[in-house]
Amino acid sequence: MADQSYAETQASTSAATGVLALLKAKPSVTRERVMAIMPAEIRATLQLYLDGKIREWYSREDGKGGVFLLNTGDVAEAKSIMESLPLAKENILDHEYIPVGPLMPLRLLMGNQPAKQQPGSP
């Protein structure tokens, strides 16, 4: 059997393990408006984290928004999660969603061999 090309390896991926949500305030939105909603936003974000919906979240270094890694591989579910937050309900953010998964080029190192099981594992 021929080795898979890089493109074939990338195309064979079908299992997103998370979704990145990139959030940015719309250009017309003032900092004051965002900050007025921020206490409720923080509480709601923390609750989603405690519920296992949000895996990680960060502030952008340019101060223009946030980056969330969600515990879903489904973009529609990610949108539903993020749209439940107060800032999204006020329609003052732009969102971008990117499904992510394992680094597929690593499969090239494995060839067509299945991963070896560790001694004592089923």
Average pLDDT in the 40-61 region?
97
pTM of the model as a whole: 0.74
| Distance of alpha carbon 89 from alpha carbon 11, whole angstroms | 36
- For the chain, the domains span 17-101
Q: Does domain 17-101 have CATH number 3.30.70.1060?
A: yes
Q: How many CB atoms lie within 10 A of CB 94?
A: 13
| Predicted pLDDT at 105 | 79
pLDDT, greater one: 1 or 73: 73
Per-residue pLDDT of 86-102, as tens digits, reads: 999 999 999 999 999 98
